[in-house]
Amino acid sequence: MSESKLIAVLGGTGNLGGGLAGRWLQAGYRVVIGSRTAEKAQQAATELSAMLNARGVDNINVEAADNRAAAASADIVVLTVPFAHHASTLNDVRDVVQGKILIDVTVPLVPPKVARVQLPEEGSAGQIAQKILGEGVSVVSAFQNVAAVHLQDGSDLECDVLVCGDSKEARAVVIELVEAAGLRGFHAGSIANAAAVEAMTSLLIFINKQYKCHSGIKLTGLDV
């Protein structure tokens, strides 16, 4: 994928969204941070630029806008909002993301018992996104099992990302972005399979609490 394409990270003011945005900026991609207000997005973009500059990263190409404007301007849209704001954000940007790839990073966690698997009636957040946005948008589910703290600290990552979506071509584009972020990405089937990946996040949260760590997943038996 050309690094000239613009990536919008909706909810980019959060730890996960900011971590992904930082990784892609460091890899040379153009990124627009989205938030519910342009002012909040600009503050996050300024802080992100300062952090990357401190690490010696030059030529940072980051912009800021409200979620709808960010989604409208971008070639690829990444949704990193909490599940409570998932449907409302999707409905807000539905018309401006037609014809694009939307990467859904959302996990349907239900506080306070976030370490318990509680999938929605529709099956997964990814399936909800595809239903709301319609066939004109290629929804790809990814990054649910990556700890935000590891994305933010800028260190090398030993973590694999399972990529689910109905379009193999769209999944391939997302796998390029996974690798640009310093991880390994793998085709994991249709958007229906996102349910298994999203459910795994609650298991990892439980493991993190039990063993006081920030765990991820790694596939074995692959000659890659």
Q: According to the model, what pLDDT value does residue 154 have?
A: 73
Type and span of the H or E element at 89: helix 86-93
Amino acid of residue 3: E
Interval 189-203 mean pLDDT: 98
List the one residue out of 13, 12, 156, 26 whose CA is nearest residue 79: 12
pLDDT band per the 50, 70, 90 thresholds, residue 1: low
- Which of left, alpha, beta for 221 (phi over 0: left; psi -120 to 50: alpha)? left
Interval 134-148 mean pLDDT: 97
Q: According to the model, what pLDDT value does residue 82 have?
A: 95
Q: Strands across the sheet with 160-165, in order?
A: 62-66, 30-35, 6-10, 76-79, 101-104, 138-141, 160-165, 184-187
Q: According to the model, what pLDDT value does residue 7 have?
A: 98
Q: What percent of the chain has pLDDT over 70?
A: 99
pLDDT tens for 104-136 read 999 999 999 999 999 999 999 999 999 999 999
pLDDT tens for 28-81 read 999 999 999 999 999 999 999 999 999 999 889 999 999 999 999 999 999 999
Q: According to the model, what pLDDT value does residue 98 have?
A: 98
- In this structure, are residues 145 and 197 in contact, taking their beta carbons and an 8 Å threshold? yes
CA torsion angle 148 149 152 158 (round to 10): -80
Mention every residue, 6+ apart, whose C-beta is less than 8 A from residue 84. Answer: none
Residue with tokens 């800021």: 64
Interval 174-197 mean pLDDT: 97
Mean pLDDT of the chain: 95
Interval 97-101 mean pLDDT: 98
Type and span of the H or E element at 88: helix 86-93
Is CATH 3.40.50.1820 correct for 6-211?
Answer: no
Full-model pTM: 0.96
Type and span of the H or E element at 79: strand 76-79
Q: According to the model, what pLDDT value does residue 4 have?
A: 82
Q: According to the model, what pLDDT value does residue 2 have?
A: 64
Q: According to the model, what pLDDT value does residue 59 have?
A: 87
**3-class DSSP state of 45:** helix
pLDDT band per the 50, 70, 90 thresholds, residue 157: confident
152 pLDDT higher than 70? yes
Residue with tokens 């694999």: 160
Alpha-carbon gap, residue 13 to 62, rounded angstroms: 13
